[in-house]
Chain A
Amino acid sequence: MEQLRIRFLLNGEEVEAGVAPVENLVQALRRCFHLYGGRESCGQGICGTCTVIVNGRAVSGCLYLAVLAEGTEVVTVEGLSAGGRLHPVQEAFISCSAFQCGFCTPGMILMSTQLLEENPDPTDQQIRHYLSGNLCRCGAYPEILQAVKTAAQALASQK
């Protein structure tokens, strides 16, 4: 069977990888690049633990073929804190204690950064709606909601 070589920009770096057509993006990121922030859980695009940003838009890495990353720009949670500094959303997730087991956290954080890029000052209902495709079984939703609002304020004061 044919192995496909793909090149793409991963967290700002040009990379190349050999992937199988059957492989999804989150598996390829783990296997080829040891990036474990994206995780496969439901396998159905429902839970959001596999969230990866491709060309500026979040996708479910478990439903996204790795070959489709060819020529794109991919950002994972590891890319958010490149340089060792946490992103304001990450800071807010810590200060608001917006996680328990942490398994959903990278996906929640990536989606929250997307939301705040689109809408810097979201209402509670807008946050709930935007993040409704990310599940947290520990039930940290109230704290996550608070973290997104806290991050929005932090980002606004940076400007």
Chain B
Amino acid sequence: MPRQAGRSLRRLESHAKVTGTVEYVHNLELPGMLHGKIFRSTVPHARLARVDVAAARTAPGVEQVITGQDVLSIIPDPYYGPAFHDQPILALEKVRFAGEPVAIVLAADPYAAQAALDLIEVEYEELPAVYNEVEAALKGAPLVHDKLRPGSMFADLIHVRPRSGSNVHVDYRVRRGDVEEAFRASERVFEDTFHTPAVAAAPLEPIVTVAEPGGSGPLTIHSATQNPSFVRGELARLLGWPENRVRVRTAFLGGGFGGKQYIKLEALAAASTLLAQRPVKISLTMDEQFVTITRHASTIRMKTGVSADGRILARECEIWWNGGAYADIGPRVTQKAGFTSAGPYDIENVSIDSYAVYTNLPPAGALRGFGVPQVNWAHETQGDRIARELGMDPLEFRLKNLLRNGRPQASGTILQDSGTEEVTKEVASAMRWAEPLDCGTGTTRRGRGVALAIKAGVTPTTSVAIVTLAGDGSCTVYAGTVDVGQGSQTVLAQIAAEGLALRAEEVRVIHPDTDATPYDMGSVGSRSTFHMGLAIQGATEQVSRQLIEMAAPVLGADAADLELYDGSVVARGRGDAEISFRELMATRFGKNTGTLVGSGSFTASYDTPDPDTGQSDDVAVFWMIGAVGAEVTVDTETGKVMVQRLVNVADVGKAINPLLVSTQLSGGALLQFGYAMSEEMRFEEGQLVNSGLAQYKIPTMLDMPKSVEVVLVEVPHRNGPLGAKGMGETGTLAVSAAIGNAVFDALGVQVKELPLTPERVLRAIRAGAGRPLED
């Protein structure tokens, strides 16, 4: 029987996915169900003078119309959010972004609900609005929130320090060494400002929730959420109920990428179902997803001092995160991406200021990388500029400054079990870096670039798992991990199977259902294989111990000599002495009866950073380390960049399923490829002008680089399940900068703002040639 860890098993639900029969909440219909359609604010910042839903209430087919005032009757303090309790279920006194939910129409016929939206009249008293993150952080900027509402269930966010009277709602900092002194001692000091735009996760299964009032049972929420346990807790808090009266379950998700994190439609669906006393489904359109959650636009100022021989002596980063109107998980983005914003480098003197800023735009949250793709764009782009101006090879410059195991990261936490050297070596080899590249002449130029990435695994978080063995010896795993497409059900089955010496195909991992699956912080931040994997390992150890204790007297062997093999307990060195799980269960409970239960949990350790310096002994549960190489051609007359090769190197610790790991890495790279090349939410006076996939273009198969390659590096993590670490975001982090650096190599000019649209690149070419494009 093969080892289960390390098998390139196809997704266990493959058959259902290719036949279209796989379960998504998107498909769910319940008897008597109403459809909810949301009336959204048309202005970015205003007092609500009047919300008149009378005509909509009497429209044909409409069962109910709910406003923010109606919600108050069941939820007196209807503000939710993972970091701040700042987002009202439906707008109350004012609206803070164009697209904010103001009312919801419920009807059995979704077309009737939609049609009735036209009958709702809202009078707005418009207020001055602010959209840019740097302007919003200035004194005197219009305030998006008059009062801050901090409040978090997460231990890593308890120390965030809200600032009142400002749109800056989190002001996070790292201080290490003395940057001012080091800048004075530097041979050269480089200062650049970088920008990234708001972008959309746009999972193809749009955000959807179905809620059932429950009657005497629990309020039941079927939701395409990445965080079922969090949703349960948050709804219980809003309702003032114990958590056991709220049930949250999921099915497979049609993608998430962070867009379905924490709480999205669930509170609105819960309020609607409780008021209507009927099941309610809210299924967003693709366009609505765009105003529901975005990835933070950012402005990043980076100042770096280097010695003549290319050592980075000091780095100062100042980051403004455009959080939109509600904090969502922005405070964690501010912190996590903040403390790695100096990059995977060994720098003695670091100063980081990272500000979460409210603006009158749709809320921003985490989107594959928790802000690291933005800061990576800054430090890796500047890195190539520094190398070029010092006359150094960009890879040599990185190697010279590389953060290696045993050395402190900017947060003070010591790097360990991390393949920074290995990924750098591998990307150099895959890119044939030592061989020269012909950059070409004429209107087509070639270039290549690399970029390195570091991200800290979020901590402290908890996963709990239950593993059972039925009377027939079959194994079920009760885990709150959500399969958003990453293949967690398959990988967790492999981990359980490894622990119980079964075949992964025989193990069933159930979908999260908070009535059955224990707590899990969420399928976010590349944490599931590591955290849930460890919890499952703990649970299978308990089951295994029970099996061995049961088998010892039956086989007349010492427990220490027994082990599990292929669904049986066997005595080492005694080929004949074995008993199958099924038979063993029968000896204990009777034929085909009984259940063995094992449970396990994992909570990562954490040392709360010093609020003034950000210093901590333990700020990452593991480090995600990656390197990306890109080769491009650029049409110098149009500015069009074609990525010919995209090479992704990631330290995954141990690939429990190399196939799924590789495809998740290349998939993550292609997601970020879109953000690097074309994707950009464009706002005019707070109004999104390119929602939906006709205007906001995501990459097609025609856009995909000619060659997409993945190289796995396995530097085992001492605590990881079988040595594995999280890697769901690793492939995403450094893509933009690698491509940007390849463009720099091809053209000799740098673009500091994403995405690398033809116009932006052409403008850089023309500015570099002293003939700027005249507007």
**Identity of the chain A residue whose Cβ is nearest the Cβ of B665 in the assembled complex:** A139
**Cβ-defined contact, B668 with A101, below 8 A:** no
Task: Compute how far the CA of A70 lies from the CA of B718 in the bound complex, rounded to whole angstroms.
Answer: 63
Given A37-B20, A141-B670, also A128-B663 (CB < 8 A): no
**Cβ-defined contact, A39 with B26, below 8 A:** yes
CB distance from A147 to the nearest CB of B (A): 10
CB distance from A69 to the nearest CB of B (A): 18
**Cβ-defined contact, A43 with B21, below 8 A:** no
- List 30 interface pairs A-B (beta carbons < 8 Å), by A numbering: A39-B24, A39-B205, A39-B254, A41-B254, A43-B285, A43-B286, A47-B204, A78-B21, A80-B19, A90-B19, A93-B14, A94-B14, A100-B485, A100-B486, A100-B663, A101-B256, A101-B485, A102-B13, A102-B22, A133-B700, A134-B701, A135-B204, A137-B202, A137-B698, A138-B485, A138-B671, A139-B673, A140-B667, A141-B699, A141-B704
Chain A residues contacting B701 (CB-CB under 8 Å) are: 127-128, 131-132, 134, 136, 141, 144-145
Task: Compute how far the CA of A20 lies from the CA of B115 in the bound complex, rounded to whole angstroms.
Answer: 15
Task: Compute how far the CA of A137 lies from the CA of B252 in the bound complex, rounded to whole angstroms.
Answer: 15
Q: How large is the interface on B (under 10, 10 to 19, 20 to 34, 35 or more residues)?
A: 35 or more
A19 at interface by CB-CB < 8 Å: no
Task: Compute how far the CA of A131 lies from the CA of B703 in the bound complex, rounded to whole angstroms.
Answer: 11
Choose one: B203, B659, B693, B708; the contact of A101 (CB below 8 Å).
B203
**Interface size in chain A (residues, C-beta < 8 A):** 53
**Identity of the chain B residue whose Cβ is nearest the Cβ of A127 in the assembled complex:** B701
Chain B residues contacting A105 (CB-CB under 8 Å) are: 17-18, 20
- Of residues 27 through 47 on chain A, the ones whose CB sits less than 8 Å from some CB of chain B are 30, 35-39, 41-44, 46-47
Contact with A along B186-209 (1 / 0, CB 8 A): 000000000000000011111000
**Cβ-defined contact, A100 with B664, below 8 A:** yes
A42-B286, A77-B18 known; 5 new pairs, CB 8 Å cut-off, are A37-B21, A101-B253, A135-B204, A137-B257, A142-B708
Chain A residues contacting B18 (CB-CB under 8 Å) are: 77, 81, 86, 90, 93-94, 99, 102, 105-106, 109
A123 at interface by CB-CB < 8 Å: no
Chain B residues contacting A109 (CB-CB under 8 Å) are: 18
**Contacts from B to A (Cβ < 8 Å):** 10-11, 13-22, 24, 26-27, 111, 202-206, 252-257, 285-287, 484-487, 659-660, 663-664, 666-671, 673, 692-694, 698-702, 704, 708
Interface hub of B10, B660, B699, B701 (most chain A Cβ within 10 A): B701
**Cβ-defined contact, A78 with B202, below 8 A:** no
CB distance from B166 to the nearest CB of A (A): 36
**Cβ-defined contact, B13 with A44, below 8 A:** no
**Contacts from A to B (Cβ < 8 Å):** 20, 22, 30, 35-39, 41-44, 46-47, 49, 76-78, 80-81, 86, 90, 93-95, 97, 99-106, 109, 127-129, 131-145
**Identity of the chain B residue whose Cβ is nearest the Cβ of A41 in the assembled complex:** B204
**Cβ-defined contact, B255 with A137, below 8 A:** yes
Chain B residues contacting A93 (CB-CB under 8 Å) are: 14, 18
**Identity of the chain B residue whose Cβ is nearest the Cβ of A105 in the assembled complex:** B17
**Cβ-defined contact, A102 with B694, below 8 A:** no
Chain A residues contacting B27 (CB-CB under 8 Å) are: 30, 36
**Identity of the chain A residue whose Cβ is nearest the Cβ of B17 in the assembled complex:** A102
